Structure 1
Amino acid sequence: MKVLFTTLRRRLVGSPLRPPALNSLFKLFCPRKYEAERAWRLSSSSILGPDLPDIWKHPSSAPPTLPSHSTNQGGEDLNPTIINGKIIAEEIKTGIAAEIRQLKDATGKIPGLAVVLVGKRRDSQSYVRHKIKDCEEVGINSLLDELPEDCPQDDVVNAVSNFNKDPSVHVYIFMICCKQHMDEEKVLNTISLEKDVDGFHPLNVGNLAIRGREPLFIPCAAKACIELLLRSGVELVGKNVVVIGRSRVVGLPTSLLLQRHHATVSVVHAHSKEPERITREADIVISAAGVPNLVRRNWLKRGAVVIDVGTNPVEVIEKNTSAPLPLITS
């Protein structure tokens, strides 16, 4: 949501910031909203990482130190800390809502988000419902174009093309739940670069991959992972990070974004040898494989920071009965 509006603000108008005197009053009388908006502004400028030069240090003449395994066994118990994404999300939405009010007051314009949803997968429908609800809360207009699972590919292309031409739609996302009869690349090539909030366009991906360049949009799931880490005070520079999964939606952009934060990134996928050994060396683990219960306790070293991305349907079967209960998400 944040990267969506940051880009819209650049495109629609150079909305003026709050005057210093008014800003001081806002800080005095609305401290929580002020801090939320301030954190959002700071995060907006730092999400692509610090610009640090690649200067290698000369190796020391001292003998190398053997790695210690004391962090993986023995010692005092570590109390796990839960990263509360709901609180962080509310802070971000508070900042976005304030920016949208300023934009509307200055220009009368309201950002518009459209969604093209093909098929009826429950996780995709849940995702879209949450996006529409978020839009309502912060003041963004939303449109939904639902297409049946067996619709012709041309119907999807036409839906995307219509949103390309619609001036009230500034960005859109599309979700194809059944891809057997779809040429995904053809659909992706229909996307307007300026409205590609998912960041799927090759130019957006390329600008994300090249340090010093700024993509129009950063894929939201990848951006959310970095937001959670930065707002939780997790150091990224020089850390060993394992990203499990390499999809264009989450895994690939997350690994690119982590490299821009100067982390040492390994990508584990379905063909990786000994994925548990690679993952066990990581300071930070981001799981985006779409497979429930893939990462087990013995995959993680003590003190590792873990982020689980996505929603997976899991069938729960009650004891002493063969009838499955409804699907739940994990």
Structure 2
Amino acid sequence: MPSLSIICFMPSYNLLEQGYPFLEVILSSLNVCDKMYIYDGSSDSTTKVLSRIKNPRLIVLRGDWNFSSKNTRGGQVIAEVSNKLLDEVRRREGWENTFVYYVQANEVFHEETYSQIRLIPETYPNYRGYLLYYYGFYGTLLRGEQFRLRMAPLSKHVRVIHDGWTMNVFGGFLKAVKIVMRHEAGMMLKYGRLNDFLWVSNSMYRYVYTRRPVFRYSLLFRSIVTKKLETHSSMFKDMRFSEMREMVEKMRELKDEEFWREMIKVSEKVQGSGKREFPKVTIPVEDHPKVMRPLLSMSTYEPREEIIREINELREPVTC
């Protein structure tokens, strides 16, 4: 039997000018996955920075992000590009014992979780997908927590959905029913009753708590918040990012923590966030991934030479 392989894949569009910590994301991802694919359609200097990475485990593909009135209503262009990249992974890679992990360019794995994430398919076998635990940040302020379905066995059924928020695994329903029926039959014999069959699909997915969450830095550098909102307004036509930019302009004099607290209020007001998931608390710098700690005191994103060098020298993921 061939050894298990994990392949990360990530969309890329003007990451540098929006302040995405994409080099740190690549470094942490290559510690988890055997290969990483990136689909880059940038018009800024992101492409130039990516060209300096010479790690053979990183495959960067270039192509246009074709924005249309349809795929920019709610950010669907991100899922569209991600699925194009996922199709390329299917074309190039063997499927047997291969798992894909969908990464976005502001999501960093904590070093304490590298080996744990690599072991997920072996620790919890025979699931259609795995939902991992995420923290979301504005600056260093914790905005919320959530699970995202980001890992799954590679198959024709795996797709990125909506605005790239998560993946889903379509098809295979009869197989799911068969497995759950076996489970329910056992439950009936043991307890004399059937469980709720609404869990047929949910029982095929595994929620995974890791030692540390995946750290998602939604907004990290206040100096380029406006630029990121401007770029996002071209992808999310149905969201009022122009209104958010106007509000941000009025917050120039605020100190950092107060700024991020107000930024969360602005986001909740304009985008709508449903239930408030978490109090607005600051996570200590030492609890963040090591690769991110120097960035937390910086005012803008600058590609670090030492990170590029470390990526180029990283020949294999962590050993479990």
When normalised by structure 1's length, the TM-score is: 0.27
Computing the radius of gyration over CA atoms, which structure comes out larger, 1 or 2? Answer: 1
Structure with more contact order per residue of length (Cα contacts < 8 Å, sep ≥ 6): 2
| TM-score, length basis structure 2 | 0.28
1 or 2, which has the higher strand percentage? Answer: 2
